[in-house]
Structure 1
Amino acid sequence: MPAHPTPSEELLQLLPDAVVQTDALWNITYLNPAWHKLTGHAVEGALGRSLLEFVHPDDIGTLRSGMPVFRLRRADADYRWMRLQLQPKTDAASRVISRQGVLIELTELTEQVLMEVRQRFLRLLETIDGVVWEAELGVGNTFLSPQVERLFGYSVEEWRSDPGFWRAHVHPDDLPAALAIDDAAYHATHSYAYEMSYRLMAKSGEVIWVRDLCRVDVDPDRPTRMIGLMIDVTRQKSTELELVQSDNRYALATRGSNDGIWDWNLQTGVLHVSQRFREIVGLSDTGSLHDDGWHFLQQLIDPDDHERVQTAYRRHLSGHRPNFSVDFRARHGSGRLVWLNWRGVAQFEDGMAVRMAGSLSDLAERGSSYDALTNLPGRPLFRDRLEHAIALHQDSVSKAADALPRGDTTMFAVLLLDLDQFKAVNDTLGHHVGDQLLQQVARRLESCVRAVDLVARMSGDEFNVLLESVDHAGAAERARQMAAALAAPYRIGPHAVTCSASIGVVSSQAGFATTDGYLRAADAAMYQAKSHGLGVCVFSEEGDPGKGTGFT
């Protein structure tokens, strides 16, 4: 016999207002009889269908974003203004599993007019190149504009269903500062405007720099709320960071690496070169300033290399590359040919390159310290840095044994990663695609680490990463972030290439005495990750990489 309805179910059946319940994906799971009276649609015909099918196309985005007022299509094809304030039901992890609310028709003409005006305003928001949002203390986002899908890859439902979504996707290095600003706003005693910049992890694995223009609204009669506009400033930030990194590299080069330094005003054409630059090309008797920078450089570059150098230079200025690095032959002042590396970065204003700065290296002196394809440090430089990190760590252990204070700043970790499908990419798409894939992998790895860390290309599709000032758990978490970032598809010309990585991790907790000890342990862990399909494997204290942490 069929079960008798409960008193609450009987009450829902008798209510004159339409009760609507959907799952997390907007599919209708319950309607009471008032639905048919209000909309003309049969209850049985609507169950299982998406609620969005009954919503005016212009209002779907705003309804999904949190706006409760929209136009609903009746059975007679006429649209009526409705209000449906859906209340979410969440699971133990605060994820939305269903929504329910009462559907009410707006009968007052003035209210309908106001709603039309607001809907036009909300549709205008969709044209803004940024994400408009609203949030309340303890609730999370109460409104989120649909641009979140285009800019970050997450659907509005994914973002709004989890109150902690934003905090979970801010880059770990930026999270403490962002949380401090966020918490201060939520507990403010007065309204004020503020802004903050941070990195956000997109669904694709990319790291997006965000400028968030915010306002906290404090009203004693309602919960504290914030409104804001998130803007993607990745390109601008990348240029700023490249300039800062370049300045640091140039200063370091001047002191120790023996590179030549140059600074080029592209608006006036004036090129300034350092004394060391002039020595490298054998023109130490010439001046530092050259009114026509390109003419000066063309005189140095071997004619057979002109096209290759110009291509690298133009690709950077056109925005295809965040920086440029090119090897070429130059005519030394003594008459002999020398191999040089010219590298740098441009500063852009309103889309126009106005200045370039960089360094010039004699490749015969630099040896194999850098990899020309990816512009990453090579094996010698990585081993030098690792040897230094080992020495610092061993010194701190000795001080700890002597009962002297020991700091965590000497802890480090070594990561070795190998691309899983790289040979197949080379075999099917060609080595030129494989080379571009390696370059994109290098850039993604650099985006996942801090300025104190080091990413190096060891050989082929093998890379090493040295993480400094990081403990065992932090190294494993950073490796998982790298694996996720590398697993996202790569766009190379007309091809969408997928190429994940296997990563072996060993921390200073293992206590090896030599660079070879750490590299062998990282290699063993990487082999376990690759052979068992783990993604990430952490070398255990017992020396058994098989007891590491798997990544899926």
Structure 2
Amino acid sequence: MPATPPDHLLQLLPDVVVQTDSQWVVTYLNPAWQKVTGHPLAGTIGHSLLDFVHADDRGTLRSGMPVFRLRFAGGEYRWVRLQLQADVDERERVLSRQGLLVEITEVTEQVLVEVRQRFLRLLETIDGVVWEAERGVGNTFLSPQVERLFGYTVEEWRADPGFWRGHLHPEDVGQALAIDEAAYNATHSYAYEMNYRLIAKGGKVVWVRDLCRAIVEPGRPNRMIGLMIDVSQQKQTELELVQSDARYALATRGSNDGIWYWNLAEDVFHASRRFHEILGLDDADAQHDDGWAFLGQRIDPDDRERVQAAYRRHLAGERPDFSVDFRALHASGRLVWVNWRGVAQFEQGRPVRMAGSLSDLAQRGSSYDFLTSLPGRPLFRDRLEHAIAVQQGAVSREERLERQGDATSFAVLLLDLDQFKAVNDTFGHHAGDQLLQQVARRLEGSVRPADLVARMSGDEFNVLLEAVDEPTATARVGQIAAALSAPYRLDGRTVEVGASIGVVVSQPGLSSTDDYLRAADAAMYRAKSQRLGVCLFKADR
């Protein structure tokens, strides 16, 4: 970390120097703070920096966005930029943050473009349409996913202020417009949810769950922001659950998610079969009479406080909903990364019930694994399916000729780390995460750009080697095994971890992605059980 300038130099700087502790409490300001913002130093130091940030911008500031609205003396909010650098300890825990604060009006257009690009990149990771709207203007912002979900371009949608209203399903117009009008005429900001059907391009009907918030600010028209999610595939399941005692009124966003309903007044937690499957539990007892005790036992102790904080903020009204990723304790003893999300219903200001879903992050339809930055299961299956089509001649001759002289054979690898659980148990989950990240980098460094490395779940990785015959694949697997066997440095310790690798080369007896994945799994299991290191699948075994 660079050395901190002497205090007398900081006193002379025209830019505002800000330092906070790990909880965002201001611990240092130079005199420029009072000159720029009008707030006295004594009235700021010791208070949370977030108290001076616009309520709508606190979340993005905490997540690293450097541009936000700051309350100046007199109550006026102005745009500022504050790029905070964190000082961390050996376990990557934040000790303090420090940076320079400047008004956005003095920042170049290049900086604004940079912030917008970063914001759009973040939006691309959201499985839904982020939007903002004002009366008489229509949508002032739409994220690009609108074309994928509904078939209309952003330009088509925004060209007509009444576009959304004009494409509501006739049976849903009355209720949807009533909720919309209430938001436009609201006297205070609040969160709400809408469920309706939209007519997509070509006449397709899409069921939409719209998580919204009405924003009421003095001196400007009401505006709304929200997230539209396509729930068409889940609507039938949701309707059936609603009819069953209304326990799943806020049901799952994904067809492969576990659904849950929580009666907060009685602390009774109901969970679907898929919820139990994700955690490896027997689904015979779908009702748990001590809700939090049941959930708490399933959350890894290192993540429990963070999970509790997420849903408590929602129950306190600080968040319109909640969504938190954490490590869950599977009944088999392994850890699985899951996402727990949901929404509470309030009566007379008190939360009375909650409902939502639980997702296995290794199987959810995200394209990339957040820990290793490798492609995930869906992208790997897509690439393997294409490789099979090429090998079987289901693509054009021109495309096959482009693949290195019609070299259409390929190999699929499945590898599993042999001592991963021991690393987690001995050195902790942080060391386990470091190991997975280092394994990912070594795998990427051992293959060609045309090949694909993916993380499937836990400590399992898949590799697709394209345009290789069996001798070439065997040689490449040897290089991968050698790369993985070299010692790892984890939190200052040297650790040796082996891997069991199953290999299957393209062959006539296998015709689908599942065939190849099962064959690779069988070879990997034999390699692990017989301590072979590497095992090549043969159809006659």
TM-score relative to the length of structure 2? 0.34
What TM-score comes out, normalization by structure 1 length? 0.34
Is the radius of gyration larger for structure 1 or structure 2? 1
- Decide which structure has greater helix share: 1
